[in-house]
Chains A and B, each alone.
Chain A
Amino acid sequence: MDFDESLPRRQFVKAAVAAGGASALSACLGRAPRAGEPVPTGVSDISNLPQRQHAWNDRVRVDADGNVHLPRHQTFLYLTVDADGPPEDDARGTVEAALRTLDRAYERSNEGLVYSLAYAPSYFDRFEATLPDSVDLPEPRRLSGFENPTFDTQDALLHLASDRGDVVLEAEEAMFGDRSEANGVAVEAKLGDALTVDDRRTGFIGAGMPAERQAQAGEPISGIPDSLPVPEQSPLFMGFEAGFAGNQATEDYVTIPEGPFAGGTTKHVANLRQRLGDWYDEQSFAERVMEMFSPSHAEQGLVEGVGDNLGADSGIDAVLDPETIQQSISDHGRVGHAQKAARANRDADGNVRILRRHVESTDDDVASLHFPSLQRRLSTFEEVRAAMNGDDLTDNPAIRQRVNNGILEYIFVQNRGNFLVPPRRHRALPTPRPA
């Protein structure tokens, strides 16, 4: 693999993370913006780490408004267990030893590495026993009347994230490649000795990163129009911020409260292709605000630029009642994406039910989105997605299955997968009923 040495450094690192492999790592180690700076090391006693593999929020950057900023570079490794049937104890030992290597090598933070290893329903099918009722983890399924996704039924998903592109690359090489050291720590065991990478996907998030990546060698990537319209400060291709603290579930809320997997959570991961030609070229800023947030947001001028001014909350809770939605449809022929979805994303006490951790991607030179969502019960995600489909609003013919119906016209689901993120104590090839 050759890397274009003329690329600006940040683009170069992103290209290296997307490509992966030892050559990408060695190239990256020389070129990454902070390649010379030390990476903070991890812990030798893992009891210093939280039981929750998904406890990231107090280990990554948080802005003045309290919004969590996910690590800029992320890799999703879809893994299969190397043998048929239930995994053997020695494979379990290998996985645990490998993960302890990562824990020793990197501080559990955006400056080091945050990660989780999660397991699919198909993994648990290897066992005669079934998951306890305290874990709600259906097989992935079609979640709208117009999608035809590929279901990710690999055994496991390793999700790596860091603000340092060289870290996610090195961790991957240490786990599945030839690298014998990770951040100076000897690699005692490799995940690759028990698991095989079936698919590798990469993501990024952060103000400016989508604008930098909307073109490659001067040509827009697939899904981005020739006008290269992605705003300079946007963390996402669609031009707005997302994941405001006030509109996200807490880690406490999404944590499984009881049973052998107490302390874990469920994780849905979708991959969605983005087709933003009409989004940017046929729609005004106000129309984009209507479709992303709500028509009321546009009427009241609540969103400036990429939405920095919203602070810690998009204000969507004020526009969820059916009367407001029907009035917006009558006045504007549109309904907002956030508005629709949030209808099912609140419990009786008003708490947010799902924790979204989505990032952008240019894998295969296509603008796309990796969309992990954490929730106590996987079916909660399915309920939120059903509300986002807005089928109940298509009685009014202005709201069509995919037109004027939030952002459904611009996103195309490619993959869906469901996973259990066990608590740390059961992170290595768990049985369905661990003691």
Chain B
Amino acid sequence: MHRRRLLTLLAGAGTVGLAGCNRPQTAGTSTDDGTGSPPPSTPTGSGDGGVYVQSFVERMGRLGTATAGPYRVALLYTVPHQFWTVTNAQRSLVPRGGGDGYRVHLMATVWDPETGIAIPETGLSLELERDGALVSEEVIYPMLSQRMGVHYGGNFTFPADGDYRALIDVGALSIRRTGAFRGRFGDPATAEIPFRFTARDRERIGTRESPGAGDPGAVAPMDTAFPLGRAPDVEAMPGTHLGTARSGDAVFEAVRLTDPPAGVDGPGPYLSVSARTPYNRFVLPAMSLSASAGSFDGDLVRTLDPDLGYHYGAAIPELTEADRLRLAVTMPPQIGRHEGYERAFLTMPPMELSI
């Protein structure tokens, strides 16, 4: 593989630019010793902070898995969570909520069983029935969690123990699909997951304190049998690795393909930028990213590809001759965040790579 080039940040060079170098480079830091105090439950940071170790490690339970059209869908639950939604660069806290009954955070994960690629960005709603009667129905947001990766989540109340049925509607994908994903994921699909919820299920979940809470880093993702939305290792990405850039604590891996993937109009080469979280390498979807190289100056398109994964891409004929690649985030990732991610990926200075 090609040598990674040192990133250069046009703004915030130095502290932010090199911050990653003295941070843990791998997941699992929750077991490292650390004396940082837990973060306040409602961090008041300006939004330009980095990823930090969440204050607790939660246990989860699985309610079921089902097939919906081309997708596999898993439904999990854990203790209710506060999380943050993001609109433009504005962050809004969603509280745990209350009410009569047993409050849980429900999480749906959606992936393509053929490739194991998680679907990080579509409309998804969850309908909950108990004994045939409607309990709830909500659009639930894509979000990032250190334990659960890229999932769709929301807080719900089970009014009582009993037999439930979850209907998970996965919306048709509106982002571009390329390669073997062309023509796929274009229709909505519904997963039906019946489950019984009892005292035993309540006992299965809980939290423990997280050592190192508040320090730069992330707790390890849970060990699951399904994809958590991890971006591919650089070594596993096709094409020529152009370099690694960082902004707002996000990591951007840029690769050049000789030819665009099938489904992209225009002559090659093709620039693919994969954005991911530090430490756990979760995909960072739903941002506006533009690139300039040589005389090219334009938007990269949110794209799902079986080989490149979720990425931002464009055919850029000038790419081969250009010696500099500039990347600019014009809108930060419009994905909800669990604790530890809410301060990061909001203020994202432009980046420049020598290529």
Report A's interface with B, CB cutoff 8 A.
Answer: 142, 145-148, 222, 226, 273, 275, 277-278, 282, 330, 332-334, 364, 366, 391, 394, 396-398, 400-404, 408-409, 412
Contacts and interface: CB of A to CB of B under 8 A. Distances in A.
Nearest to A402: B123
Contacts of B286: 397, 400
B88 A398 contact: yes
Interface of B: 87-88, 90, 92, 94, 99, 121-123, 125, 127, 134, 136-139, 141, 169, 171-172, 174, 186-188, 190, 285-288, 302, 331, 333-334
Nearest to B335: A397
A398 B334 contact: yes
B331 A398 contact: yes
A403 B138 contact: no
Contact of B169 (A148, A277, A398): A148
A397 B331 contact: yes
Contacts of A226: 99
Given A277-B138, A333-B90, 8 more contacts: A145-B186, A147-B188, A282-B92, A333-B87, A397-B121, A398-B87, A400-B123, A412-B127
A397 B94 CA distance: 20
Nearest 9 CB-CB pairs, A to B? A401-B123, A145-B172, A146-B171, A333-B87, A397-B286, A333-B88, A402-B123, A397-B334, A146-B123
A403 B139 contact: yes
A427 B190 CA distance: 39
25 contacts: A142-B188, A146-B123, A146-B171, A146-B188, A148-B169, A148-B188, A226-B99, A275-B137, A277-B138, A282-B92, A330-B88, A332-B88, A334-B87, A364-B134, A397-B121, A397-B288, A397-B302, A398-B331, A400-B334, A402-B123, A402-B171, A403-B123, A403-B141, A408-B123, A409-B139
B287 A397 contact: yes
Nearest to B188: A146
A51 B302 CA distance: 54
Contacts of A400: 121, 123, 286, 334
Q: Which of B285, B288, B334 has most A Cβ within 10 Å?
A: B334
B334 A412 contact: no
Q: Which of A148, A282, A394, A409 has most B Cβ within 10 Å?
A: A148
A275 B138 contact: yes
Contacts of B187: 145
A275 B136 CA distance: 8
A145 B331 contact: no
Contacts of A222: 134
B288 A396 contact: yes
A403 B121 CA distance: 12
Contacts of B171: 145-146, 401-402
Given A145-B123, A273-B137, A394 B174 contact: yes
Contacts of A273: 134, 137
A275 B88 CA distance: 24
Contacts of A398: 87-88, 331, 334
Contacts of B302: 397
Contacts of B136: 275
A408 B286 CA distance: 19
A398 B139 CA distance: 15
A287 B186 CA distance: 31
A385 B171 CA distance: 16
Contacts of A391: 174
Contacts of A394: 174
B125 A146 contact: yes
Contacts of A334: 87
A103 B262 CA distance: 64
Q: Which of B94, B127, B137, B288 has most A Cβ within 10 Å?
A: B137
A424 B92 CA distance: 55
B286 to A, nearest CB: 4
Given A397-B288, A400-B123, A412-B125, A146 B172 contact: yes
A394 to B, nearest CB: 5
A397 B120 CA distance: 12
B172 A404 contact: no
A224 to B, nearest CB: 12
Nearest to B301: A395
B43 to A, nearest CB: 19
B138 A278 contact: yes
Nearest to B174: A394
A401 B88 CA distance: 15
Contacts of A396: 288, 331
Contacts of A332: 87-88
Nearest to B288: A397
Q: Which of B121, B171, B186, B302 has most A Cβ within 10 Å?
A: B171
Contact of A282 (B94, B137, B188, B285): B94
A189 B150 CA distance: 62
B287 A145 contact: no
Contact of A146 (B121, B134, B169): B169
B87 A401 contact: no
Nearest to B170: A146
A394 B333 CA distance: 14
Contacts of A403: 123, 139, 141
Nearest to B286: A397
Contacts of A409: 139
Contacts of A277: 138
A273 B127 CA distance: 11
A334 B172 CA distance: 21
A434 B137 CA distance: 45
Contacts of A282: 92, 94
Contacts of B127: 412
A226 B187 CA distance: 35
A404 B87 contact: yes
A282 B331 CA distance: 23
Nearest to A404: B87
Q: Which of A146, A332, A366 has most B Cβ within 10 Å?
A: A146
Contact of B134 (A330, A366, A397, A402): A366
B185 to A, nearest CB: 10
B137 to A, nearest CB: 6
B334 A401 contact: no
A240 to B, nearest CB: 20
Given A273-B137, A278-B138, A397-B334, A145 B188 contact: yes
Contacts of A333: 87-88, 90
A145 B174 contact: yes
Contacts of A397: 121, 285-288, 302, 331, 333-334
